[in-house]
């Protein structure tokens, strides 16, 4: 059993293969956090929690004259409210009498086999063969009768612990939830920890930022209605001297696609608290008697082996326990070409067929018809929401167009943006009340579109019916699901005034319902997520999509940073990456090398390529297929940091049995008459002998890792190299 309760010490210990996590039902039945880190067997870590009279620190009333016990200095699993703890909180409740108070004490717990499930939100699952145990702890406020149910699932072999929270109103009066964090983790000494996050902006998503912990509340989050381009719902705490290969690292990945918040606070005593969950901005959620509110899941991981060790835990787990699509492991992803940069919205069926014919010569498997195929869509001013085929463009009809593409030996894909509506559309004219607009105020436009009120069931039903009708009309193999703006003007015409604080969250719940009804009912279609590029790239989205568009920025040199940051938590197999015309001074080969750090495809007009360029693309497409098992199933190593000044960026994929590897290098900054550059491999078996690009010579794994490979300096700028290593 991976969860052990010690009755004598009242400790509960969660064990994975290499880690332990311990809590204690402590003084006055408050649930205290004791430990998270390398395995400690069944040691009782209570001795670490020292208690002093801190002076002016509040003490729970029940402690009487015991001034040494103050929740303002105790490490907790989930914080109380108005009990003397002034640090960042896990919960904020407004009771029926208007009081802001929650005094949660442990009253019950149970340990069961298997993974807990959430009814309203996506969460990870136990794959075949997994050993998973679940702990459920109930905290009760004796006055309001409000219960907080803490959920923990332990994936023993994967070194993963998941957490979620439920709030049940077991009282007789309604309450209002204003803040609910899914995870709270207290470190007794956090002054030596750094915080790593993935901030960015449109076109520059998931850049890596590292900051020392100081005596402030460090806040990371989004209030844009989605997890956003600007922040990502993943944070890492690590030793201040942690590197790729060394140091303790704690990861927290939130499975939620809406407004989120992560707060890390180094307190007056150098204790560090991290909380993570739904952002409290414009969040006021009524919970009526006997109703239950679910908070999103957090996937936690710990590694002593630096950033790489933590990334490998997330990569392996998310490849097997996050998305049920057959394209995750059973079906190889196609090489695709997208019509957007080839034609934008200026196309017809003939042009698409011609692009497909040219792309076939490039080794492409799939043509994707992007924006512009529906309603009266000739630019971005109209027709979103009118999900029917524009037969002035697709004169032969969708079914016949798909047949023509299929007759070429290629598959067909299509683009949707279901959550948006244009004011110039049949849908908006029929249902203006379906758009997000505050009464009496002009709505904020973004990309000339408004957001549909996804909290409404009639909106959800409309989208489910319209999108499913298109998908069932023709032999569609792939769908790109896009959203191209942040959400503003938060208002639902269907909700009363006192319920408007629920709209942000109900929007996300509605979106998940639509995705459940469309994506999960079409298991043979490959879905790819997109949000103005990578603006909603999060674990919850990857529960539905096996891949997500990393960024609208296709410049291969920028992509080096984009792929680097994304890889800290998300597997390479989820990263949508294509070759485009962007980066006119970058060789086509280099663009291909970069795009192979992802799903690989093209964003260009294939009819404009020369025969030589088409032949080179065919060779690169074939190489991607050859290396597919290494890239999609192997371990990924960041060999250099593109955010640091250097002459090249390098990365590597290694098969699990260490018999094959693909080492990639892009030269980014040539210097005149500079020193010889070497790239040191990682993850190889030291005693294996490896050939390089099928040469006769072989080198030991130890030599390749410790001495490295010399990189030719006599090359043009932005040249690239791929080294295929194979055990002899």
pLDDT, position 39: 97
Q: In the chain, pLDDT over 70 holds for what percent of residues?
A: 100
CATH of domain 336-454+476-512+523-628: 3.20.20.70
From the list 339, 331, 363, 315, the residue with the least C-alpha distance to 574 is: 315
Cβ contacts of residue 528 below 8 Å, gap of 6+? 478, 479, 480, 481, 545, 546, 547, 548, 549, 576, 599
User: From CA 681, how far away is CA 683, in angstroms rounded?
Assistant: 7
What span, in angstroms and rounded, lies between the C-alpha atoms of 143 and 67? 24
Q: Kindly state the tokens that stand for 421.
A: 């509506």
pLDDT at 64 (0 to 100): 77
How confident is the model at residue 137, as a pLDDT?
Answer: 98
CATH class for the region spanning 3-321: mainly beta
Backbone angles phi, psi at 153, to 5 degrees: -120, 135
pLDDT of 172 reads 97
Nearest to 77 by CA among 149, 1, 16, 172: 149
Please list the ranges in the chain whose pLDDT falls under 50.
none
Residue range 648-727 forms a domain whose CATH class is mainly beta
| C-alpha 653 chain-centroid distance | 21
CB 178, CB 94: distance < 8 Å: yes
pLDDT for the residue 271: 97
pLDDT at residue number 669: 87
Determine the pLDDT at residue 714: 87
Residue 94 Cα distances to 100, 156, 713, angstroms: 5, 38, 66
Q: Cβ(598)–Cβ(572) under 8 Å?
A: yes
Confidence at residue 629, expressed as pLDDT on a 0 to 100 scale: 98
CA quadruple 357, 358, 360, 361: dihedral sign: positive
| pLDDT digits 0-9 by tens, 356-365 | 999 999 999 9
Q: Where in the chain is CATH 2.60.40.1180?
A: 648-727
Active site residues: 538, 613
In angstroms, rounded to a whole number, what is the distance separating the alpha carbons of residues 5 and 136?
12
302 three-state secondary structure: strand
pTM for the whole thing?
0.98
Per-residue pLDDT tens digits for 431-448: 999 999 999 999 999 989
For the chain, residues classed under CATH 2.70.98.60 are 3-321
CB 127 within 8 A of CB 157: no
Dist CA 402 CA 5 (whole Å): 59
CATH 3.20.20.70 domain locations along the chain: 336-454+476-512+523-628
Instruction: Kindly state the tokens that stand for 552.
Output: 């609208």
Environment class of 96 (CB within 10 Å of its CB; exposed 0-12, middle 13-18, buried 19+): middle
């Amino acid at each position: 059993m991976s969860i052990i309760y010690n009755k004598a010490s009242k400790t509960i210990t969660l064990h994975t293969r290499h880690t332990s996590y311990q809590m204690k039902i402590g003084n006055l039945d408050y649930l205290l956090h004791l430990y998270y880190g390398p395995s400690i067997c069944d040691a009782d870590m209570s001795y670490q929690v020292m208690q002093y009279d801190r002076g002016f620190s509040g003490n729970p009333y029940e402690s009487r004259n015991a001034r040494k016990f103050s929740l303002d200095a105790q490490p907790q699993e989930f914080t109380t409210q108005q009990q003397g703890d002034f640090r960042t909180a896990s919960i904020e409740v407004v009771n029926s009498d208007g009081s802001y108070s929650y005094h949660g004490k442990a009253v019950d717990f149970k340990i069961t086999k298997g993974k807990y499930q959430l009814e309203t939100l996506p969460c990870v699952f136990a794959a075949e063969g997994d050993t998973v145990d679940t702990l459920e702890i109930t905290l009760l406020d004796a006055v309001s009768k409000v219960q907080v149910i803490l959920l923990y699932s332990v994936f023993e072999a994967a070194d993963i612990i998941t957490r979620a929270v439920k709030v049940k109103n077991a009282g007789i009066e309604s309450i209002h939830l204003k803040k609910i964090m899914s995870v709270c983790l207290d470190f007794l000494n956090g002054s030596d920890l750094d915080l790593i996050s993935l901030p960015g902006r449109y076109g520059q998503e998931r850049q890596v930022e590292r900051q020392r912990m100081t005596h402030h509340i460090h806040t990371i989050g989004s209030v844009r209605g989605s997890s956003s381009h600007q922040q990502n719902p993943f944070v890492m705490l690590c030793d201040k001297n942690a590197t790729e290969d060394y140091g303790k690292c704690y990861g927290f990945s939130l499975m939620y696609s809406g407004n989120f918040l992560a707060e890390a606070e180094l307190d007056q005593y150098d204790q560090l608290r991290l909380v993570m969950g739904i952002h409290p901005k414009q969040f006021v959620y009524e919970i009526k008697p006997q109703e239950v509110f679910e908070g999103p899941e957090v996937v936690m991981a710990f590694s002593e082996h630096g950033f790489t060790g933590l990334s490998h835990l997330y990569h392996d787990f998310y490849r097997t326990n996050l998305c049920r699509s057959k394209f995750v492991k059973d079906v190889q992803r196609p090489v695709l070409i997208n019509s957007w940069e080839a034609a934008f919205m200026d196309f017809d069926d003939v042009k698409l067929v011609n692009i497909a014919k040219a792309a076939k010569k490039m080794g492409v498997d799939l043509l994707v018809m992007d924006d512009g195929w529906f309603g009266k869509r000739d630019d971005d001013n109209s027709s979103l929401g009118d999900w029917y085929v524009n037969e002035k463009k697709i004169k032969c009809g969708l079914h016949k167009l798909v047949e023509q593409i299929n007759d070429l030996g290629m598959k067909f894909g299509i683009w949707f943006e279901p959550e948006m509506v244009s004011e110039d559309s049949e849908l908006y004219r029929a249902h203006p009340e379906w758009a997000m607009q505050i009464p009496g105020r002009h709505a904020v436009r973004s990309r000339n579109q408004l957001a549909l009120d996804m909290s409404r069931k009639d909106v959800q039903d409309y989208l489910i019916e319209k999108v499913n009708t298109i998908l069932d009309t023709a032999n569609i193999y792939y769908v790109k699901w896009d959203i191209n703006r942040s959400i503003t003007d938060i208002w639902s015409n269907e909700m009363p005034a006192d319920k408007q604080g629920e709209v942000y969250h109900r929007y996300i719940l509605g979106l998940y319902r639509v995705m459940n009804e469309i994506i999960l009912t079409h298991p043979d279609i490959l879905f790819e997520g997109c949000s103005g590029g990578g603006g909603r790239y999060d674990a919850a989205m990857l529960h539905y999509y096996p891949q997500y568009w990393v960024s609208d920025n296709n410049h291969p040199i920028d992509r080096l940073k984009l792929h680097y940051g994304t890889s800290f938590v998300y597997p390479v197999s989820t990263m949508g990456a294509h070759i485009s015309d962007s980066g006119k001074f970058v060789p086509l080969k280099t663009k291909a090398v970069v795009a192979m750090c992802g799903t690989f495809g093209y964003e260009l007009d294939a009819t404009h390529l020369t025969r030589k360029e088409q032949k080179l693309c065919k060779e690169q497409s074939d190489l991607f297929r050859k290396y597919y098992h290494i890239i999609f199933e192997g371990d990924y190593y960041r060999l250099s940091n593109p955010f640091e000044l250097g002459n090249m960026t390098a990365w590597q994929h290694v098969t699990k049995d260490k018999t094959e590897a693909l080492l990639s290098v892009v030269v980014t900054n040539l210097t005149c008459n500079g020193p010889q550059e070497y790239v040191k491999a990682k993850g190889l078996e030291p005693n294996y002998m490896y050939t390089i690009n099928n040469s006769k010579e072989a080198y030991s794994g130890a030599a390749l890792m410790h001495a490295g490979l010399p990189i030719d300096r006599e090359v043009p700028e932005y040249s690239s190299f791929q080294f295929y290593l194979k055990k002899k």
